[in-house]
Amino acid sequence: MENVKVWRRRPLVHAVTDAQPSLSEDIGRREKRYLIQMGIRTLCLILAVVVPAPWPIRGLFIAGAIFLPYIAVIGANERQTATPSAFEASDANQNEIPRHRREIGS
């Protein structure tokens, strides 16, 4: 009887491609993205002041200088989430009972 239980349990196999990036890699990626966006913001601010362009074009530069910090901070605080692998999603021998069923009535 003991062997039957062990036989029914399948070991969970992890693929190397399923691994999340390390915390230092994730922080480095977010810092790099933030610095690039803030560099673009600085360029927009300089171009809005220096370039003798009509107001609609200056308005675009000013809008970039105003809204890019918000977008950069939101992106810098966003952590990368893991996606389920294709192997786990397409397991044909899965005999699992769904955990939650929403039913109306009793």
**Which residue type is seen at 55?**
W
Domain that holds residue 63: 30-79
Number of domains in the chain: 1
Which has the higher per-residue pLDDT, 101 or 34?
A: 34
Which of these ranges, 6-10, 86-90, 96-100, has the smallest mean pLDDT?
Answer: 86-90
* DSSP label at residue 18: G
**Which residue type is seen at 80?**
Q
Q: Which of 82, 81, 80, 46 is nearest to 61 (CA)?
A: 46
80 close to 20: Cβ distance less than 8 angstroms:
yes
> Which residues touch 80 (CB under 8 Å, ≥6 apart)?
20, 21, 26, 29
Phi, psi (rounded to 5 degrees) for 72: -65, -40
Mean pLDDT score of the chain, rounded to an integer? 77
The answer to whether residue 53 is domain-embedded is yes
* pLDDT tens, position by position, 3-50: 445 455 666 766 666 677 788 888 899 999 999 999 999 999 999 999
The answer to whether residue 35 is domain-embedded is yes
pLDDT at 79 over 90: no
